[in-house]
Amino acid sequence: MSRERIVTGKPVTEEEEAFSWSLRPKTLDEYIGQSAVVKKLAISLESAKKRGEPQEHMLLYGPPGLGKTTLAHIVSKEMNARLITASGPTLNRIADLMGILTNLDKGDVFFIDEIHRLPTNVEEFIYPAMEDFRVDFVVDKGPFSKVINVPLKRFTLIGASTRVGLLSAPLRDRFGISYHLDFYPPEDMFKIVVRSAEILGVNIDKEGGQIIAGCSRGTPRIANRLLRRSRDYALVKADSHITAEVAKKSLEMEGIDNRGLDDLDRKFLRIITDYYQGGPVGIEAIAATLAEETSTLEELVEPYLLKIGFLTRTKRGRSVTHETYKHLGLPFNGSVQESLFD
């Protein structure tokens, strides 16, 4: 993206990602939220251990920042297995994948982030590896070519995707388990903020924690990022104590309002209300007006707006709801409220 957003579920910097890792749960018992997924996963892992077999191939999908990578690490730890990680866009050659697969030991967990971005030839190469634990490697070309069948040790593939709709049906069908991670409710977000504050040694009261949780867009990664910003603000302005007032001021300074919306979110909504009378309008027109990629808006802006009921999406395009006008203060004077937390 052309600008840094602190309310995106994706990592912003390598430093932040390292900071985030120190706050992530290491076991299922420590994991907060996604209770249905955690319960099913616990049973599946326990069953695999009792059978003495690797865990089934698993697909985790949902918006960024909800804990897909964390769950992959927890699975490897619970199964006492080695974790090998890769990203879909980086596996652009069959040779890259071949090298990883042939070096996997029995029970190893192979985690592919953004698996929907695997090139087609690489994706097709992985099919027999998932089904039959073998790969067919072609040597030479033309009339002299021959296929070498290479057996693999039984491993667990965990794929993570933020856009499961882009995943091909043949690949999706080869996963034995599929779990959808959804945005966290406010009560779980509050528990996550309190847990992170304890780990960091941050002095935060209940009201301050609730403000940060309510602005975190149901996403743990955003919650930890906002907690860090509020901690820095409190250290300089409020004797290191995060109260409700301190949390509000630190978030307002970042341009975040009481629903967790930032400048890009509000511009997105204002384009629909001001330029297109509330919609419907195509995503391409919105993207062109904002000078943003349509994929950026579809992946990082729209999911949360849809979740909180500020946006509807139909075949005719995007439309805003009455709640959007109410939040922006538009029915009466067409201007946004002075305070982001009014």
Q: In this predicted model, what pLDDT tens digit does every residue of 59-92 receive, in sequence order? A: 999 999 999 999 999 999 999 999 999 999 999 9
Residues 6+ apart with CB under 8 A from 197: 203, 204, 209, 227, 242
Reply yes or no: is the peptide bond before residue 280 cis, omega within 30 of 0: yes
What's the mean pLDDT in 141-170? 88
Q: Is residue 162 annotated as a catalytic residue, yes or no?
A: yes
pLDDT at position 126 over 80: yes
Q: How confident is the model at residue 313 (pLDDT cuts 50, 70, 90)?
A: very high
Choosing from 162, 219, 243, 324, which is the catalytic residue? 162
Q: Is residue 68 annotated as a catalytic residue, yes or no?
A: yes
Q: Are 329 and 340 in contact (CB under 8 A)?
A: no
Choosing from 108, 113, 257, 265, which is the catalytic residue? 113
Residues 6+ apart with CB under 8 A from 29: none
**Amino acid symbol at 334:** G
Position 335 scores a pLDDT of 47
Choosing from 5, 68, 217, 231, which is the catalytic residue? 68
Could you tell me the CA-to-CA distances from 240 to 204, 303, 321 in Å, in that order? 9, 34, 40
CB burial of residue 161 (10 Å; 0-12, 13-18, 19+): buried
Choosing from 8, 24, 69, 156, which is the catalytic residue? 69
Rounded to whole angstroms, the Cα distance separating 171 from 160 reads 12
- pLDDT tens digits for 26-45? 999 999 999 999 999 999 99
Choosing from 24, 221, 228, 318, which is the catalytic residue? 221
Position 336 scores a pLDDT of 47
Q: Quick one: which of 200, 197, 33, 201 has its CA closest to 210?
A: 197
User: pLDDT above 70 covers what percent of the chain?
Assistant: 94
Rounded to whole angstroms, the Cα distance separating 111 from 11 reads 18
| Residue positions counted in the chain | 342
pTM: 0.88
Q: Quick one: which of 284, 230, 107, 91 has its CA closest to 171?
A: 91
- pLDDT tens digits for 193-248? 999 999 999 999 999 999 999 999 999 999 999 999 999 999 998 888 999 999 99
Q: Which two tokens stand for residue 221?
A: 């990664």
Position 339 scores a pLDDT of 58
What's the mean pLDDT in 299-321? 93
What's the mean pLDDT in 291-314? 92
pLDDT at position 333 over 50: no
